[in-house]
Chains A and B, each alone.
Chain A
Amino acid sequence: MTTFTFFGGKGGVGKTTVSSAYALECIDAGLETLVVSTDPAHSTADVFDQEFGDDPRPVEGYDGLSAMEIDPEREVQDHLQELRRQLNAQLSAAMVNEVELQLEMAHQTPGAYEAALFDRFVEVMRTADDYDRVVFDTSPTGSTLRLLALPDLLERWIDRLMDKRERSIDLYEKAAIGNQEPRRVMEGDPILARLQGRKERFEFAGEVLREDAAFYLVMNPDELSIRETARSLETLAEADLPVRGLVVNRLTPEPEPHEEGRGARYLRERVETERDRLERIEREFEPPVVATIETRVEEVRGSLLEDVASDLEIAVETE
């Protein structure tokens, strides 16, 4: 049984670090793990110091860990290309130009990027049988998480489209007199078949997200991050996707008590405010704070990652 773990949060809070560290925890527990990054900036490559592509590739130096990076921009282009190919095969030359325009437009709407990403998510979920655990490092745009709330909405939308289509075909069939061939027939209608296929994918996604997925939000102890987290929590709750826990990253390390001086005083004050905020987070937010991670001097990569992993207190259920 594959389970899916999503890490979301504002840009720059350290989602990649946390999800990579979590993936290390998973392989430590003996789970075959896949890390999926959707950030076009692709920081997974930096964390592991290796290049990854669109297909899962084993991470060198870690047993049982694979990683892949999704590029939504390329997904959109591929989708467009594929449809163009079909268009040329199916339509008469005169219509191709007309429809081409419509096609281009559809791929430039604000939703295209998200839809492509969502498609890819579903694709990964469908083909994840080889892995026990899939960790999604979602892109910083808040929309990625909002996207996951979509299957329900899309399902209903597709339902309505199918209903309309069925009604019009039904009328056409009724309008065909005697032996006349109706202009459209219900059976084998390619449109209905495609819509049905889409619908099934949305249903699948909705089911997996509700049943086999866990969501964690990563945040920093600052005001903006807290607000963003509050919003994400709301969106996910509305979609019936409860957040399992919060990870607070980049906490300032406390100076030793005997240390005095400008740096130490600054740190002490900083730690003080952060502690207040942390208390507030624990008080105001429903999901528990599952991990607090101190800031590191260097970029987290290599052996430092294992260090961070040991800070994580997210229980890795192995069943």
Chain B
Amino acid sequence: MTLAERIAAFRATVEEWLRGLYHGMFTHPAYEKIEAEAEDTEDAFMLACFPDAFGIPSPVSYYTAELLPYLEDEYEAWERRMWDRQSVIERKGHQYHF
């Protein structure tokens, strides 16, 4: 391995580490936030679809019931989040890394 090659390899490693560090420190938390926001929107969607799960009658639940066979992941995650969630503030608090 020539000197030039070794330098190039070293630089590549450093670059990768730096990108990883940057991703871990800045981008990843940002994407996490977006994902959490996506989950929140999804929860709102689920709640709008199945308010009768909370005892609120809905004129469209007969129609939205048709979505249930396709909502396996969403439904499970939704239930879990609903149980976990103490309050809106608590959840939003997570998102902002206080």
Contact = CB atoms under 8 A, between A and B. Distances in A.
Q: Do A and B come from one complex?
A: yes
Interface of A: 76, 79, 83, 86-87, 89-92, 95, 98-99, 102-103, 105-107, 109-112, 115-116, 150, 153-154, 157-158, 160-161, 164-165, 167-172, 174-175, 177, 183, 190-191, 194-195, 198
Interface in B69-91: 69-73, 75-76, 79
Contacts of B60: 111, 115, 154, 157-158, 161
Contact of A105 (B27, B28, B39, B52): B52
Contacts of B42: 165, 168
Given A83-B68, A183-B73, 16 more contacts: A76-B62, A89-B69, A98-B75, A98-B79, A99-B72, A102-B53, A107-B62, A157-B60, A161-B60, A168-B42, A172-B38, A174-B34, A175-B31, A175-B34, A191-B67, A194-B66
A154 B62 CA distance: 12
B34 A95 contact: no
A107 B31 CA distance: 39
Contacts of B61: 105-106, 109, 111-112
A174 B34 CA distance: 7
8 contacts: A83-B66, A102-B52, A102-B65, A111-B60, A161-B64, A168-B39, A175-B38, A190-B70
Contacts of B93: none
**Central interface residue in A109, A110, A195, by most chain B CB within 10 Å:** A109
Chain A interface SS verdict (over half): helix
B53 A105 contact: yes
Given A102-B68, A175-B38, A111 B49 contact: no
B16 interface: no
A161 to B, nearest CB: 6
A194 B52 contact: no
Contacts of B23: 177
Given A175-B34, A175-B35, A116 B72 contact: no
A106 B38 contact: no
B48 interface: yes
Interface of B: 23, 27-28, 31-32, 34-35, 37-39, 41-42, 44-45, 48-50, 52-53, 57-73, 75-76, 79
**Central interface residue in A106, A170, A174, A198, by most chain B CB within 10 Å:** A106
Contact of B67 (A89, A170, A172, A194): A194
A223 to B, nearest CB: 31
Contacts of B79: 98
Contacts of B44: 164
A168 B72 contact: no
A121 to B, nearest CB: 14
B82 to A, nearest CB: 12
Contacts of A111: 57-62
B48 A177 contact: no
A99 B41 CA distance: 21
Those 3 A-B pairs whose CB atoms lie nearest each other, nearest first: A171-B38, A168-B41, A115-B62
A198 B68 CA distance: 15
Contacts of A83: 65-66, 68-69
A83 B63 CA distance: 11
Contacts of B48: 160-161, 164
B50 A106 contact: yes
Given A105-B52, A161-B45, A99 B62 contact: no
Contact of B45 (A168, A175, A190): A168
Nearest to B44: A164
A82 to B, nearest CB: 9
A194 B71 CA distance: 12
Given A99-B68, A103-B68, A194-B67, A168 B38 contact: yes
